[in-house]
Structure 1
Amino acid sequence: MVAVVVCVPLVYLIVRALEGGAETARVVFEQPSVWQAAATSLALAALVAVTTVCIGVPVAWLVVRAAIRARQLWIVVVVLPLAVPSFVGAFAWASLFPGFAGFWAAWVVLSAATLPYVILPTAAALRSVDPAHEEVARTLGLRAVPAFLRAALPQIWPAVGGGALLVALYVLSDFGAVSILRVDTLSRAIYASYRSSFDRSSAAILALLLALLAVLVVAIEQRARGRAQRSRLATAAPRQPLPVRLGRWTVPAYLLLGSVVTAGLVVPLLSTIRQLATGSSARLDVADLTNAALTSAWYGLVGMVFALGLAIPVGLLAGRYPSRLSRSLERFSFVGHALPGVVVGLSIVFVGTRLVPGIYQTVALLGFAYGVLFLPKAAAAVRGSVATVPPVLEDVARTLGHSPFQAFMRVTLRLASPGIAAGALLVLLTVMKELPATLMLRPTGENTLATRLWSLSEVGAYAAAAPYSLSLIAIGAIPAFVLAVPLVRASKRRGAESSGQQSRD
């Protein structure tokens, strides 16, 4: 059933592409701009993914393992860029720095916007890794960094790879930031093709090419992940290491943390406040702003429920029963996340108007679209959380008289629930920022903060759009803060344990 659901956009694209015939496909693929856009999309996705790993892993290590001041504050602020939509970040950078556009500008904006996708799972994985492995490596003569690379990094690599995969798929599907920064990617070409012609075949062919790139990216991540397992040997929390003193690296560490927060959070906030203070179109409609905020939160909850319902079977199969079938299902479930929202939206419109016209432009159909779009975020959380629970625990529960379903619910699901909840919150946050599918499928007369922000920005009313931007960031900061709470609590416990250990020494 899940396989049928996630294939809805692909079926729509194939039907539309076949309507155009071989001649249309030949014309599309003979255009050099198509292959240039595909190469740009793939290069941008790869570069942003590598950048987020190279920066996100050290940042996660700093907030989890290093002896830094205001650790709890840093944990929260490095995650808060999750609350800033990429198109808001792109507009903020472009308005503060005239001429800020092009490939490298998009690389900066998208890297800053997606860093938390790597920081969060990496920090959570580091928190669960027993430091004994690194300590043994240190006793064998390795310094701190080589010991981490050889002993700890292989254990947390599935979490790092999962975050990098989400980053790459996010970049492939991004439309708002690349449009503002004038970068010719496949997602922008698809949108332009849909807007410029009533013939959807050419755009469908381009979208299928983008879907193939998504499958390629997922396959590369699965190959890199290999058969790595992250199951703990015990359910008790691992012993926490003493904070590592940075010495001469203290100043560079704080500069790195400050740069991450500045690029992803401070610049968008400063630009929005500047627009609000200096603009002439700033007329605040409190009632409209409140309705848009409530609608955003409601749509976020609906999308979270749909995505989680679809993700649990996929994540459970991939995390507990790895096979060729489960890997194929997981691979196809990620395709929807790489397609632009306009493509998924049009496929759902096709289904709604042709098969079930009674639910067209209803919250239920919109929630279904969110489920298809953001299934990978929830599925990755389910898969990673289930994989950390040793299967032997379920076997023990079954020897005590529990059925397989009871053993799963009482053991595996209970232990995996924190990670699954984190994935659900991530979906909630992403849904509130979603733009193209919401514009196409929302019930008539309803607006979210993102749609109001976009509509006002399109007509140049930037000051009027500023309150919606600030509200979107503020509301998105709530689930982002909740996602950081487990790390903050773990940091406090570790500080107490370290103080006790030092006093005993």
Structure 2
Amino acid sequence: MAGKGGRPGPPSGATTLVILATLIAAFSLVPLGYVAFMTLTTGWDTVMELVFRPRVGELLLNTILLVVVTLPLCLVLGVGGAWLVERTDLRGHRWWALALAAPLAIPAFVNSYAWASTIPSLAGLGAGTLIATLSYFPLIYIPVAATLGRLDPAIEQSAASLGLGPWAVFFRVVLPQLRIAMAGGSLLVALHLLSEYGAFAMIRFDTFTTAIMIQFQSTFNGAAGNMLASVLVLLCLLLLVSEAKIRGNARYSRVGSGAQGLAIRMRLGRHEIGAQSLLVAVLVLSVCVPLYSVVRWLIAGGIAIWDPTEFFPALAQTMGYGLTGALVTCVVAFPMAFLAVRHANWFSKLLELSNYITSSMPGIVVGLAFVTVAIRLVPGIYQSAYVLLAAYVLLFLPRALVNLRAGLSQAPRELEEAARSLGRSPAVAFFRVTLRLCAPAAAGGAALVFLAIVNELTATLLLAPNGTRTLATAFWAKSSEIDYAGAAPYALLMILISIPMTYVLFQQSKKAAGQ
């Protein structure tokens, strides 16, 4: 149907999509509503007593120190590695480009298990910083490398022609253009630091997340744990606001694709050996040490640790939850992605923002929210697969949403209208044109959600039905009992499953940067 001026009006199903997207957004705010409700119903005097106490101050100090120390190290490794790969004549730079993303294939709690079983005395802030840095610096490296790869080198060449040296060009010209990528990557690292449980519990380093889990296990969702969750959510929201302030409204892009010249790679000369040595050290510490530890325990355990009665059910349940969760998340994300691309306005942006706020919360907070809501309102679904899948959807919805938005933006409405003008029904035109064009992006988003579900620990520990054993929870049960050999097969499988998904993430970042 045509609107004013002959312009096509919104499809008849737009209202249905708005209703669905609104319901999804409302549902995604359940964890935030839970935190607010528990804070209000606890009573002001009790809140003051539980929040303003020495233990909370200790946890706050540990968490802030962890972020303050780890984040600069991740920035140095991420930005420095990206610059070496994209802007110098580093030998083997194509191989290093992928190798520096490899640590993402090793879950942080597996990394911690490897280091703790190799050096049992490893503990505290120093250990937490080491493991977190080695696990999370690729979250900054990948977007920065992708951004460097698409920057027009003509700007750098112009600066050099005005007499600026290589370092002056980097700090005054290149680095400001990396601000958005650095801010986004830093936000991801900081949110991971706030939400990580297994990696820090294994090395006996107390953070808000580990303390909340201890409170939950001892008092089953008591007031003290809820108040800790409130403080943790406040920290997450402060991080979101800080990232938005740092990012600002700046946009570093060219008008039109144009013809981009080749970047002039800086000659390392005698610094080549030092650069290669540094990268080798990072790769050894972040990848080789965990792999060595896993293989060592596999050999020590022998054939006995490959018990099919434990191993295959954990693998089957992990694949089942991963595939089902990825499919459901993509289906749930589609209405919001469609509205964001085809009907962009303040309302669609508000709906989309609600999901990003929820996904920034740690898995333990989302898990506590679903435990409380299920027990109080619908006890029949408590500890069911439906509740666990719903938590997965809320935690990882943006991973599917971002990819679906990119896919739909490459399937303009005009193509669908052309198919309808040739006699196709709206439904047929949608499925054969729009859905077909965005299918690769949807598959990429599903792969990323699948990877996240495979490696998710805290929400799964809280919400999994009785008898459920995923690879992550089975690994955690074995490693918590200091059965490092028994945990090794589960660690190996998680790494093997994560490798292709990490490659997908790396390739997608390159494609997104080139758009």
Judging changes above 3 Å, is the alpha-carbon distance between structure 1 residues 482 and 206 closer, same or farther for their aligned structure 2 residues? Answer: same
Distance 2:255 2:436 in 1: 17
Distance 1:185 1:306 in 2: 32
Of 350, 374, 378, the residue aligned with 2:372 is 350
Of 89, 110, 114, the residue aligned with 1:88 is 110
Distance 1:394 1:139 in 2: 42
Quick check: 1:131 aligned with 2:130?
A: no
Quick check: 1:271 aligned with 2:293?
A: yes
Quick check: 1:283 aligned with 2:302?
A: no
Judging changes above 3 Å, is the alpha-carbon distance between structure 1 residues 187 and 136 closer, same or farther for their aligned structure 2 residues? Answer: same
Of 487, 507, 510, the residue aligned with 1:465 is 487
What corresponds to 1:151 in structure 2?
Answer: 173
For 1:74, the aligned partner's letter is W
Is 2:143–2:509's contact at 8 Å kept on the other side of the alignment? no
Distance 1:238 1:463 in 2: 52
Quick check: 1:303 aligned with 2:314?
A: no
Further displaced range: 356-365 or 443-452:
356-365
Further displaced range: 136-145 or 394-403:
394-403
Is 2:113–2:479's contact at 8 Å kept on the other side of the alignment? no
Is 1:276–1:463's contact at 8 Å kept on the other side of the alignment? yes
Is 2:78–2:138's contact at 8 Å kept on the other side of the alignment? yes
Quick check: 1:432 aligned with 2:454?
A: yes
Is 2:478–2:486's contact at 8 Å kept on the other side of the alignment? yes
Of 258, 266, 276, the residue aligned with 1:254 is 276
Distance 1:310 1:487 in 2: 23
Of 305, 312, 315, the residue aligned with 1:293 is 315
Is 2:315–2:470's contact at 8 Å kept on the other side of the alignment? yes
Once superposed, what is the RMSD of the aligned Cα atoms? Answer: 3.9
Judging changes above 3 Å, is the alpha-carbon distance between structure 1 residues 161 and 301 closer, same or farther for their aligned structure 2 residues? Answer: farther
Distance 1:128 1:319 in 2: 24
Further displaced range: 312-321 or 450-459:
312-321
Describe the SS at the equivalent of 1:447: coil
What corresponds to 2:40 in structure 1?
Answer: 18
Q: Deviations over 1:128-179 (max 9, x none)?
A: 2222111111111122232233333333321221111111001001111111
Q: Give the Å deviation of 1:115.
A: 1.3
Judging changes above 3 Å, is the alpha-carbon distance between structure 1 residues 16 and 72 closer, same or farther for their aligned structure 2 residues? Answer: same
Is 1:299–1:367's contact at 8 Å kept on the other side of the alignment? yes
Distance 1:409 1:52 in 2: 43
Q: Deviations over 1:84-138 (max 9, x none)?
A: 1111111211222232111121011011111121111122222222221111111
What corresponds to 1:502 in structure 2?
Answer: none
Describe the SS at the equivalent of 1:478: helix
Tell me the TM-score normalised to structure 1 length: 0.82
Distance 1:476 1:437 in 2: 19
Q: Give the Å deviation of 1:289.
A: 2.5
| Equivalent pairs, count | 485
Describe the SS at the equivalent of 2:43: helix
Distance 1:412 1:46 in 2: 45
Distance 2:68 2:347 in 1: 27
Percent identical among aligned pairs is 37
Describe the SS at the equivalent of 1:36: helix
Q: Give the Å deviation of 1:221.
A: 0.4
Distance 1:413 1:131 in 2: 37
Quick check: 1:371 aligned with 2:400?
A: no
Q: Give the Å deviation of 1:214.
A: 0.5
Further displaced range: 363-372 or 276-285:
276-285
Judging changes above 3 Å, is the alpha-carbon distance between structure 1 residues 221 and 414 closer, same or farther for their aligned structure 2 residues? Answer: farther
Q: Deviations over 1:223-282 (max 9, x none)?
A: 000002244422467433244332122122212322221222111111122222335895
Of 66, 80, 86, the residue aligned with 1:44 is 66
Q: Give the Å deviation of 1:62.
A: 2.1
For 1:5, the aligned partner's letter is F
Q: Deviations over 1:424-454 (max 9, x none)?
A: 5433222211112112333443321111101
Of 171, 180, 187, the residue aligned with 2:209 is 187
Is 1:175–1:340's contact at 8 Å kept on the other side of the alignment? no
For 1:77, the aligned partner's letter is A
Describe the SS at the equivalent of 1:239: coil
Judging changes above 3 Å, is the alpha-carbon distance between structure 1 residues 450 and 181 closer, same or farther for their aligned structure 2 residues? Answer: same
For structure 1, the residue ranges without an aligned partner over 5 or more in a row are 491-505
Q: Deviations over 1:405-434 (max 9, x none)?
A: xxx999999999988765554332222111
Judging changes above 3 Å, is the alpha-carbon distance between structure 1 residues 292 and 401 closer, same or farther for their aligned structure 2 residues? Answer: closer
Q: Give the Å deviation of 1:374.
A: 2.6
Q: Give the Å deviation of 1:11.
A: 1.6
Distance 1:355 1:375 in 2: 24
Further displaced range: 188-197 or 373-382:
373-382
The 5 Å alignment of 1:217-228 reads 217-228=239-250
Further displaced range: 347-356 or 211-220:
347-356
For 1:252, the aligned partner's letter is G
Q: Deviations over 1:201-234 (max 9, x none)?
A: 2211111111111110110100000002244422
Describe the SS at the equivalent of 2:152: coil
Judging changes above 3 Å, is the alpha-carbon distance between structure 1 residues 333 and 482 closer, same or farther for their aligned structure 2 residues? Answer: closer
